Structure 1
Amino acid sequence: MGSDGRVLAGRDAAGSGGRVPAGRDPVNGEAVAARPPADAPAAVRTGWGISPMALLRACRPRQWLKNALVFAAPTTAGVLVTAQGALGALIAFAAFCVAASGTYLLNDAADVAADRRHPRKRHRPIAAGLVPVRLARVIGAVLVALAPALAALSGDWRLPAVVAGYLALTFSYTYWLKHQAVVDLVAVAGCHVVRAFAGAVAVDVPVTSWFLVVVSLGSLQLVAGKREAELRASGGGSARAILAAYTPGYLAGVRAMSSGAMIVTYCLWALNERAGLFYGISIVPFVLIVLRHNLLVDRGVGEEPEELALHDRPTQVFVALLLVPLVIGIYLT
């Protein structure tokens, strides 16, 4: 029986896997076109075979927040307010967004079997069958090829080279490094450092050792917290095999070590390398951000660090309190 009370020709919906088959209405003789069931995914119901929104979700636009690291060096160097500095930083940001989306598509296509066993990742568009694996690979390859070309718009050959290095590190992680305990932590943290370094290259400013150490340690803290949260949430039965090599205590130790060293490094930079009251004031919200992240990870929240930045109100307040004295110290004094 159809939704409008008519009996549809052909096998019933149950016998056809829930799909309404083609045929003719026996009441008035009108043709009845085959159509997917009402509860079919949006990708199945489109004429192109996929949902554009599902494809966009597969590109993980929320993850683009990580690429905001390219603005760190231009901001601290005081050149982000210039036309050339802003343009260079935006080109770097766009290139890394394209590169990241391409690698996410290829990575999810490679991990589709494992993702389907994961309680959260099984809802990703590729794992859920909303985006075909083959299509994800094709579009991912196109985006990966496009990213260095987009970076070349900066007019500096070094930026496409940095983007290519980021892609090489990402693919090394996808197909090898993520299976190596400890190395996988450093590899993911390294991707964050490359983003920050690309921002400096894009606007042609030198990268200080203070900057690299703070970014490296902060990245390691985030990665260790992410792995720790995943391990606690899985209860030892995670689809990510590498987690079996870790214990929550070890990852908590890595997180504590990196966060403590980062705070010390930032304090030394703010008090010794930079003169002025506002740099010293920025230490307080910086420490609050680090402590807040550690607290959330201990509570079991930290699998998606970008979600904390988007939805955790205290973190957002602390970040704003950090930016105010830094902006004043860099641009107004």
Structure 2
Amino acid sequence: MRAALSALRPRQWTKNLLVFAGLIFSGRFSDPESVRIAVLTFAAFCLVSSAGYLVNDVVDRELDRQHPEKRHRAIASGRLSVSLALILACALLVLGGGAAWAAGIGALGSLAFYAANQGFYVLLARSVPILDVFVIAIGFLIRAVAGAVALSVTISPWLLLCTLMLALFLGFCKRRHELQLESNARPSLEGYSLTVTDQFIAITAACTVLTYSLYAIQSETAQHHAGLYLTIPFPLFGVFRYLQLVHAKGEGGNPDETLIRDPWIAGTVLAWIAVALLVMSDRLGGLL
């Protein structure tokens, strides 16, 4: 049971929190029905993403056994059999589809796109440098869009671009960490070098901050909610802190664990959420 649970990678469910972006930035977080739909969409993505992790680990089990960290994964280490992992993946797909259906046709359609994107990654993209990170980033983008589509709300193009740039930033940081480990467990690493990866990281870091700043200043949401610009320092600090962890401490291999373990990153995210909620509820209007 413990091996099966670890193979689901519950810590990586934090990535699916992106589905709540539509709920927060539409200002509908006080509406019970909207919250119900968002929670069901989140649950659906958690279940289906875990199914994807299981399938990916089955396909990569031989390569993972050569990796200094991934060799401890449940399937690579033999603690979870391939047959049981595939059965569990199918069950999760069915449960995830059911949760998405309960959330609405928009959530179900988005989930189908996400599953197809995961399949494309496992079958082809993971072996192609740069494309591998882009396909992963598109998965993040689908999560953000899914939360908005499920609620039938629009989401700013600037916020979508920011999501894409942030996902690319985290993805290239992860590739940099793998290069430092000098591991050959990922075929696409042959197309990367520390020099070019550092350039990718610098570009996407700058674009992340720029696109979020434009969202917080020029988007339609910003026009309706004075003070959204007050949230800009939080992603700026978060990106700087993450760059410090990557370049000064050699981290960046597990963004989901960094979010939980690093108090500065975790505190910044919580503060950003708190201020964003206050701004979207217009409770700061009298102070601006």
- Structure 1-normalised TM-score? 0.81
Other-structure match for 1:316: 266
Other-structure match for 1:255: 201
Q: Is the 8 A contact 1:188 1:223 kept in 2?
A: yes
Q: Distance in 1 between matches of 2:43 and 2:237?
A: 30
Higher relative contact order (CA 8 A, sep 6+): 2
Other-structure match for 2:84: 135
Other-structure match for 1:223: 171
Other-structure match for 2:147: 199
Q: Distance in 1 between matches of 2:25 and 2:178?
A: 33
Q: Give aligned pairs, total.
A: 279
Deviates more, 1:275-284 or 1:158-167: 275-284
Other-structure match for 1:158: 106
Q: Distance in 1 between matches of 2:31 and 2:25?
A: 13
Q: Distance in 1 between matches of 2:101 and 2:61?
A: 32
Determine helix, strand or coil for the equivalent of 1:215: helix
Residue 19 of structure 2 is aligned to residue 73 of structure 1: no
- Structure 2-normalised TM-score? 0.93
Tell me, which stretches of 5 or more residues in structure 1 are unaligned? Answer: 1-51
Other-structure match for 2:40: 91
Deviation at 1:242, TM superposition (A): 1.1
Other-structure match for 1:242: 188
* Large movers: runs of 4+ above 6 Å: none
In terms of Rg, which structure is larger? Answer: 1
For 2:44, the aligned partner's letter is A
Q: Is the 8 A contact 1:270 1:279 kept in 2?
A: yes
Other-structure match for 1:146: 95
Q: How does 1:236-315 map to 2 (within 5 A)?
A: 237-273=183-219, 274-275=222-223, 278-298=227-247, 299-315=249-265
Deviation at 1:65, TM superposition (A): 0.9
Q: Distance in 2 between matches of 1:280 and 1:139?
A: 45
Other-structure match for 1:187: 135
Query: Alpha-carbon deviations, 1:88-135, whole Å to 9, x = none?
Result: 110001000110111111111111111111111111111111110111
Structure 1 residues 272 and 208, CA gap change in structure 2 (3 angstroms): closer
Deviation at 1:231, TM superposition (A): 1.0
Identity %: 31
Determine helix, strand or coil for the equivalent of 2:66: coil
Q: Distance in 1 between matches of 2:226 and 2:24?
A: 18
Query: Alpha-carbon deviations, 1:208-259, whole Å to 9, x = none?
Result: 211111111111111111111111122xx32112111101111111111111
Partner of residue 173 from structure 1, selected from 116, 121, 129: 121
Deviation at 1:68, TM superposition (A): 0.7
Other-structure match for 1:108: 57
Q: Distance in 1 between matches of 2:151 and 2:201?
A: 32
Q: Is the 8 A contact 1:192 1:219 kept in 2?
A: yes
Q: Distance in 2 between matches of 1:330 and 1:240?
A: 42
Deviation at 1:277, TM superposition (A): 5.8
Q: Distance in 1 between matches of 2:216 and 2:109?
A: 31
Deviation at 1:145, TM superposition (A): 3.1
Compare the two structures and name the one with the higher helix fraction.
2
Query: Alpha-carbon deviations, 1:248-271, whole Å to 9, x = none?
Result: 111111111111112112212222
Tell me, which stretches of 5 or more residues in structure 2 are unaligned? Answer: none
Q: Distance in 2 between matches of 1:173 and 1:239?
A: 16
Q: Is the 8 A contact 1:108 1:127 kept in 2?
A: yes
For 2:196, the aligned partner's letter is Y
Q: How does 1:57-68 map to 2 (within 5 A)?
A: 57-68=6-17
Q: Distance in 2 between matches of 1:197 and 1:55?
A: 30
Q: Distance in 1 between matches of 2:92 and 2:213?
A: 40
Q: Distance in 2 between matches of 1:172 and 1:270?
A: 33
Other-structure match for 1:15: none
